[in-house]
Chain A
Amino acid sequence: MLSIRLIHFFLCLLLFTACQSQESPKEEVLSMTGFIPHDDEADDPNFTLCQAGYTYPYYYFDINRKRDKIDLANYLKEQLKYSFDADFTGYLTLRFLMNCEGKLGRFRSEAMNTQWQAVEVEAQYWKDMEQALLSYPNWVLGEYEGKTYDYNYYVSLKIETGKIKEILP
């Protein structure tokens, strides 16, 4: 009985915090570090979220344990066959949101060199990476007890002298 009570307590805390007070500023409370606000100029206007103003982190839905990491990694390697700039060593990271219908949007890019500094890379890298992620057919939904939720996720390519060495996470 205790474990059931504990489960209910945590679930209420996680999923329904916003319901506890109709007057509480939900976004202020729930907006997560991984959340990406809509940008009128950059984002697809057709991409919408099922929850307003927040997403859950991917790990709340156990995404990394449900997915097939090698399947995604092989797909990305196949789609991104060309060589990146041979002088580049570092990370190309795309953060994005997955909505409750399994659609991806609000991509945010960041290239980082080995000194952990943000650097500029060719815009085409991001376009190709985004396209590859959008076309990947086996994304895992943020599902919990038959309902699906929006979540935030990221994919990072570890590049060494222009070649993909690792796909993270």
Chain B
Amino acid sequence: MKYTLLFVLVLATSLLKAQPNCNIYKEDADCFEACMLLTKATDMLQGSQQQQVSFNKAIALCPQFHQAYYEKAWAFLKNGRFIEWRSIIDQAVELRPQEYLGYRAVARYQYLRDYQGALDDFALLDELVNYDLGNTVEGNYHLNIIRALCYKGLGAVDEAIEVILQQLQQSDHVLGNYDYIHLGVLYLEANQTALAVDYLEKQVAHNPYIADSFFYLAKAYVQNGEKGKAKTNLKKAKELYQAGEKRSHFYNEPMDAVYWRDMEELASML
């Protein structure tokens, strides 16, 4: 039953894309038709030939219809056809840089671990907008947290910490489910154990539903010489992991993902 629901969820997320408001194209018959085509196409199986044909028709009718490029590009990205993805999404970025640069940055980070490329996109976006960048398409992260994780990917731990702290201080920041995990792990990497413990305790309080929270807290306690607390948290992490309650993703591996062998390794230190 669990996998049935997952199966349906993937399908649903593939099918249920944001529907464009076609009324804004009413003055232009071709673009209106392109928009209607896109609306129908987003209900088709993502990546199917039928859907791609519809996207191509929409683009031919209305070459400035940025959403058609955006939607068309998805299937190429998810299936490892990166050169084609880039050539398609670049057309959306060219038409609406303020709308798609953030998306392209996140995709480069998430699907290609192209940290520098993502940071370059964020820098371009910074020049264009002065409002809050908002969250990723999936909603799990604020874009500035992704920016910080790109610094981490490049080994710039201090910059990564600074960017996350700045974002957390924003009065309108909605705390993400994993923000404190990444900050805590960064402090672990920077050997600032007390701060790591502090933020990972906050993480456990905020999100006690995943193994990742407890595993990293256990690791921080080990680093802090508190083996008793480490054991308790590692036990909880293992229980959650075995119940399948851990961060994972349909398309790629999350940053700071936790594996069973990490837990075994930590257990051997206790």
Binding site for B on A (CB under 8 A): 6-7, 10-11, 13-14, 17, 27-34, 57, 59-62, 64-65, 68-70, 91, 93, 95, 110, 112, 116-118, 144-145, 152, 154-156, 158, 165-166, 168-169
Contacts and interface: CB of A to CB of B under 8 A. Distances in A.
Nearest to A32: B47
Contacts of B259: 68-70
B48 A152 contact: no
Interface of B: 3-8, 10-12, 45-50, 52, 75-76, 78-83, 86-87, 111-114, 248-253, 257, 259, 261
Contacts of B78: 34, 57, 59
B82 A62 contact: no
Nearest to B77: A33
Given A156-B80, A168-B80, 8 more contacts: A27-B49, A32-B48, A34-B80, A57-B75, A95-B79, A116-B86, A144-B3, A165-B113
Contact of A116 (B5, B83, B250): B83
B109 to A, nearest CB: 11
Nearest to A117: B83
A60 B111 contact: no
A29 B49 CA distance: 6
A31 B112 contact: no
Contacts of B80: 34, 93, 95, 154-156, 168-169
A14 B261 CA distance: 35
A152 to B, nearest CB: 7
A55 B62 CA distance: 31
Contacts of B46: 57
Given A59-B10, A70-B261, A116-B86, A65 B75 contact: no
Contacts of A155: 80
A57 B79 contact: yes
A95 B81 contact: yes
A13 B111 contact: no
Contacts of A169: 80, 111, 251-253
A168 B252 contact: yes
Given A10-B12, A165-B113, A112 B49 contact: no
Contacts of B52: 33
A59 B78 CA distance: 9
B7 A13 contact: no
A4 B12 CA distance: 14
A157 to B, nearest CB: 11
